[in-house]
A = this chain, B = another copy of it.
Amino acid sequence: MTLSEIASLLGGDILGDESSPSIEITTLSKIEEAQCGSLTFLANPKYEKYLLTTSATAVLVSRTFPVEEYRTKISIVFVRVDDPYIAFLRLLPRFIQVPDPFSPEIHPTAVIERSAVLGDDVSIGAYAVICDGARVGNGTKIGAGCVIGKNATVGNHCLLYPNVTVYHGCTIGNRVILHSGAVIGSDGFGHAPRADGTYEKIPQLGIVVIEDDVEIGANTTIDRATLGETKICRGVKIDNLVQIAHNVVIGENTVIAAQTGISGSTKIGKNCKLAGQVGIAGHIEIADGTIIMAQSGVPNSIKEPNKAYFGYPADEARKAQRAYAALKMLPDTIRELTALKQRVEELEKKLHVQQQSGEGTT
């Protein structure tokens, strides 16, 4: 790849001379190990010292890196990008031969039931089961031990790692990644109490719809709707061990970190960020662009978009963080208040006395 191609791929700017764009990069390296022909990156300032001695041909630096300081001293070509580390990671698969964890074929042990339909170029792992009426799109790879339930649909170019379960009737879009142990379409948690204290199961007749370009982490669970759909909109990224209850809607490009739980019928907006171990109550709405910090609990709807929240009950983040930090001081505060009450009582007594003596002097 030439530097020009690399800069174009990364949205970067080449700072070199006229010939720089056509330089051929043959490998990627850490700065302290780089040889001629290699591209390296500088993200952590403590590695800046290697810049003067490295044999690398080019280096990815951030937009704010003081390139001018170095250009007179060294002949390396700088490529300015938004985030050098991420840019480097994005390039890696172009230079490293990453082995495909999936097998290229339909394993002879895979069970493809009679009325299941497979697209072109699919890969189906050993002991995977594609049930009657299910459809698997072109170029999709399904790992060993996965079960695609009756009438479920998996789109094109998806990756389902081993031991994923997709329940009957659920719909998965294109370019979706499901990690091992993910369960899509289990029954929503609904039980109507009977007079005798026992519960009657409320039938869960809906489905889960996962739109395009979604990634779902290992052992995450997404329940089917009671009626209608639980919906994960396009571009959503969900980490491991997350719980999405029945009839929830997660808006486009929202990111949800590990062990977070969203209760039933809640609607999360677009472009939100939910950190780890967050809990969101049922039947509420969270505005677009909302950020919920780790371990927070959200009992009520959030209407104003693009704000950060923290704590339980989640409050505007800075305010809540100050409150939680202040909690440490609470035992002292209570002690001080008690002491102050004592002093005020003393003052009151004294003043009463003075008043009396004052009265006496008048």
Q: Measuring CB to CB, which residues of chain A are less than 8 angstroms from any residue of chain B?
A: 83, 86, 89-90, 92-93, 96, 98-99, 101, 103, 107, 109, 111, 125-127, 129, 131, 143-145, 147, 149-151, 161-163, 165, 167-169, 177, 179-181, 183, 186-187, 189-192, 197-203, 205, 213, 215, 217-219, 221, 223, 226-227, 235, 237, 239-241, 243, 245, 252-253, 255, 257-259, 261, 263, 270-271, 276-277, 279, 281, 294-295, 297, 299, 311-313, 315, 319-320, 322-331, 333-334, 336-337, 340-341, 343-344, 347-348, 350-351, 354-355, 357-358, 361-362
**How far apart are A129's CB and chain B's nearest CB, in angstroms?**
4
* Pair B357/A354 contact, Cβ less than 8 Å: no
Of listed A93, A98, A218, A313, residue having the most chain B CB within 10 A: A218
* Pair B357/A362 contact, Cβ less than 8 Å: yes
Of listed A109, A163, A202, residue having the most chain B CB within 10 A: A163
Partner of A198, one of B200, B213, B355: B213
* Pair B163/A99 contact, Cβ less than 8 Å: no
| Assembly CA distance A315 to B325 (angstroms) | 10
* Pair A145/B168 contact, Cβ less than 8 Å: no
Q: Given known contacts A86-B202, A219-B219, A337-B340, what 7 new A-B pairs fall within 8 Å (CB)? A: A149-B162, A179-B186, A181-B181, A197-B252, A243-B258, A295-B297, A330-B330
Query: What chain B residues lie within 8 Å of A227 (beta carbons)?
Result: 89, 92
Of listed A131, A348, A361, residue having the most chain B CB within 10 A: A131
* Pair B351/A343 contact, Cβ less than 8 Å: no
Nearest first, the 9 A-B pairs at minimum CB distance are A186-B218, A165-B180, A147-B162, A183-B218, A101-B168, A221-B240, A218-B221, A243-B258, A179-B186
* Pair A191/B340 contact, Cβ less than 8 Å: no
Query: What chain B residues lie within 8 Å of A312 (beta carbons)?
Result: 295, 324
Say whether, besides A219-B183, A263-B276, A270 and B197 are in contact (CB < 8 Å). Answer: yes
| Assembly CA distance A322 to B185 (angstroms) | 38
